[in-house]
Every structure is written in C-alpha cells, then in structure tokens.
C-alpha cells in the first residue's frame, strides 16, 4: 500500500473519478479489542469513538462525499443492561462533545433509524446537533442509530401502503425508485464501498437495499485500531475492481 505523505488524496494513487463517493462502515470489534487488552468492554467502545474521529478526518482528506457509520443496531438491545446504559451515555456525550467540531469541519449530519426507543435526553441532543449542522454543506456524516434494514424496509412499505390506501398511488405504479424514496436514506446516494472490520463475513442487517451494488471490503482489523492507512487500503482495493453492475467486464487499468 502506498505511504500517505503530505497530501493524502494524491498519495492514494487513485484518480478522483475512481474513488468511492459514499463509504459505509460496519464498525465491529470494540468488545473483542477490549478483551484482547484485558480491559472492560466499555473501554473498547471509548476507543471506538477515537476511530470514528480518525475515519471522519480521513474520509474528508480522501474526498469522500458521504460516510455512513453503523453505530447501534436494532439487535444491540439484547446486550447487557449495564453496557446499553453506557452506550446511551456515550452517544449523548458524543453528540454534545463533537457538536462544535462537526460545525467547524462543515460536516452535514443525518441520523437514520427508529429513534423512539432511544432515551429522551439522547433524542434532545440529537436534535440540537442536527440543528447546529443544518447550514453546513461539506461531507455528509450519517449515523445509523437503533437501525435495522429490515425495519427500514417495513417502514417504507407501510408508508407506501398508506399512500395506496389514500388513493395517492396505484399498486401498479410502485417502482424501485419509489421504494428508495421512502427509505431513511432517501436523500442520499447508495454506498459505493462497504467496509466491515473484525473479519466477520456478514452484513448484519445493514443497508440491505442500498448496498445492492456496493463493493465489499473486509479487514481483520478491529474497529478501535482502524485508521487512515486501513481506509486508504480499502479505497485502493475498491479502485482496482471492475464494477460491472450486471454487465460485461470492461478493461480497466488498475490505478494502484
């Protein structure tokens, strides 16, 4: 992999047109990292927040336009109550502590998922941070919180069914585009690159509709150790692939 020098985007050796515009990340391995270090699981989550900061900065350096992070899945409520309580407190602290930095770095913020199950104080800070970033026009940061893709699709189908019931839409006119317009991510482009840390080979109910044609890159690196060099490797790997979208293979010279 290329060494990253003074100008990270150029040192990638990847032309802008072959870099992913939207990167989605399944951030996995906080607990295992903590166990390997003989530390409590909560320490892994704290270190995971540092990896979030590094990845956000690296994405900005590399010209990524949208970054979506899988922060809390709808299945994570099965975890021990003490860990969930800590995660909610950590989320609230992140929303407060990073607010000024998000504004200074001109990041646009979007939060997807079913928010009604989140504690009220977390929802309040979510709204405050969203409002603070409302006029920003830089990279879009999407936080998937209490998110599950199947639930998202159910919500989209329910919304469309209500429109059919109201006579606004006919069943025969429902298209893939219409479904996409009713997803949480309606205003966003689909991910080009999906990254999963910790070596697990599964999607974990994340953006099932949206990643239909995304390139997938899996690393054994645990999330707390993920950094700019790992992201660069993922982007270089992505750029070397031939994205056919179901068509015939084309001859593309590797840019790395």
Q: How far apart are CA 253 and CA 256, in angstroms?
A: 9
- pLDDT the model gives residue 204: 96
Model pTM above 0.85:
yes
Residue 4 carries which DSSP code? P
Residue numbers in the chain where pLDDT is lower than 70: 1-10, 245-256
**Known catalytic membership, residue 220:** no
Q: What is the largest CA-CA distance in the chain?
A: 60
CA atoms within 13 A on the CB side of 147: 24
Q: CA quadruple 5, 25, 144, 124: dihedral positive or negative?
A: negative
* Spatial contact of 136 and 168, defined as CB atoms under 8 Å apart: no
- Selected from 1.10.10.10, 3.40.1180.10, 3.30.465.10, 3.30.70.270, the CATH number assigned to the domain covering 19-148+193-239 reads 3.40.1180.10
Q: How far apart are CA 176 and CA 190, in angstroms?
A: 13
* Spatial contact of 255 and 15, defined as CB atoms under 8 Å apart: yes
Catalytic residue among 28, 30, 146, 192: 28
**Known catalytic membership, residue 76:** yes
- pLDDT the model gives residue 244: 73
Catalytic residue among 6, 30, 61, 76: 76
Domain range summary for the chain, segments of one domain joined by +: 19-148+193-239
Alpha helix ranges (H) inside 68-224: 81-97, 99-104, 120-132, 149-165, 176-181
- pLDDT the model gives residue 251: 46
């Amino acid at each position: 992999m290329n060494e990253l020098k003074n100008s990270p985007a150029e040192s990638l050796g990847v032309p802008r047109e072959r870099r992913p515009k939207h990167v989605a990340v399944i951030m996995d391995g906080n607990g295992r990292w903590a166990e390997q270090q003989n530390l409590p699981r909560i320490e892994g989550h704290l270190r995971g927040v540092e990896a979030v900061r590094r990845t956000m900065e690296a994405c900005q350096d590399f010209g990524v336009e949208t970054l979506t992070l899988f922060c809390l899945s709808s299945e994570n409520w099965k975890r021990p109550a003490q860990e969930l309580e800590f995660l909610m407190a950590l989320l609230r602290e992140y929303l407060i502590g990073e607010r000024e930095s998000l504004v200074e770095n001109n990041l646009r913020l979007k939060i997807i998922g079913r928010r009604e199950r989140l504690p009220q104080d977390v929802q309040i800070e979510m709204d405050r941070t969203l409002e603070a970033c409302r006029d920003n026009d830089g990279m879009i940061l999407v936080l998937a919180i209490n998110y599950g893709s199947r639930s998202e699709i159910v919500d989209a189908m329910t919304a469309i069914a209500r429109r059919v019931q109201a006579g606004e839409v006919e069943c025969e006119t429902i298209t893939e585009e219409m479904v996409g317009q009713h997803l949480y991510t309606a205003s966003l482009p689909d991910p080009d690159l999906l990254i999963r840390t910790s070596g697990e080979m599964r999607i974990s109910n994340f953006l099932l509709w949206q990643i239909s044609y995304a390139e997938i890159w899996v690393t054994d690196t645990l999330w707390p150790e993920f950094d700019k060099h790992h992201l660069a490797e993922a982007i270089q790997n992505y750029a070397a692939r031939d994205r056919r979208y179901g068509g015939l293979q084309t001859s593309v010279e590797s840019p790395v």
